[in-house]
């Protein structure tokens, strides 16, 4: 499975987030103090020209927007090592999660199957030719042996005839 990571490490975001929250809280507190202390008396109401506001704790939502690009940690290049041109019959959708052993692409294999069948037929023909050649060799060897034996017998008879003459 391919994991994707942001170019900006998330550890930096985790490190700066608490500081940003504290800084925002301090800034909010400073604005409240400034508003209470330095308000103009003409707008103030209440005794002594001051207005008191009760402050209650609340959640402060902080949103960070950061430009970045996603990049794969483990990149696997898929290469088609089939000779010639092939036609894709089926392919999974881009961005799909896959596991080891999942079929990603189905290629048209009819041309390859035809080559395998042709090669198998050629192999069977060559094996038949080898068998035929061996049988013909055995026949020739046996004929040669018979001819040699006949020639030896003829030689022996001729030598006997020569001696008798």
> Predicted confidence band at 95 (pLDDT cuts at 50, 70, 90)?
confident
Ranked by mean pLDDT, the top range of 79-93, 99-113, 124-138 is 124-138
Predicted confidence (pLDDT) per residue in 16-25, tens digit: 778 888 899 9
CA-to-CA separations, 50 to 47, 53, 55, 59, 82, in angstroms, rounded: 6, 10, 15, 27, 85
pTM here is: 0.38
* Helices vs strands, H then E, count in the chain: 2, 4
Backbone φ, ψ for residue 141 (5° rounding): -65, -40
Instruction: Identify any residues that bridge with 70 across adjacent strands, giving them in sequence order.
Output: 6
Residue reference for tokens 């483990």 = 74
Q: List CB contacts of 39: < 8 A, sequence separation 6 or more.
A: 50, 51
Q: Buried (b) or exposed (e) across 48-70, using 16+ Cβ within 10 A?
A: eeeeeeeeeeeeeeeeeeeeeee
d(CA 150, CA 144): 10
Predicted confidence (pLDDT) per residue in 31-64, tens digit: 888 888 776 555 545 556 678 888 888 888 888 8
Q: Backbone dihedral region of 48: left (phi > 0), alpha (psi from -120 to 50 degrees) or beta? A: left
d(CA 57, CA 28): 12
């Amino acid at each position: 499975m391919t994991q994707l990571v942001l170019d900006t490490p998330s550890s930096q975001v985790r490190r700066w987030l608490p500081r940003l929250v504290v800084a925002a809280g301090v800034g909010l507190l400073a604005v409240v103090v400034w508003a209470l202390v330095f308000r103009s008396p003409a707008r103030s109401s209440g005794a002594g020209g001051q207005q008191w506001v009760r402050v209650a704790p609340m959640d402060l939502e902080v949103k960070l927007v950061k430009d970045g690009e996603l990049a794969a940690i483990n990149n696997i290049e898929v290469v088609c090592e089939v000779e010639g041109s092939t036609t894709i019959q089926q392919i999974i959708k881009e961005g799909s999660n896959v596991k080891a052993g999942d079929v990603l692409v189905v290629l048209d294999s009819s041309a390859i199957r035809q080559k395998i069948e042709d090669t198998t037929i050629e192999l069977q023909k060559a094996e038949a030719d080898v068998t035929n050649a061996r049988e013909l060799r055995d026949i020739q060897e046996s004929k040669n042996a018979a001819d040699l034996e006949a020639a030896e017998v003829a030689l022996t008879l001729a030598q006997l005839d020569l001696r008798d003459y």
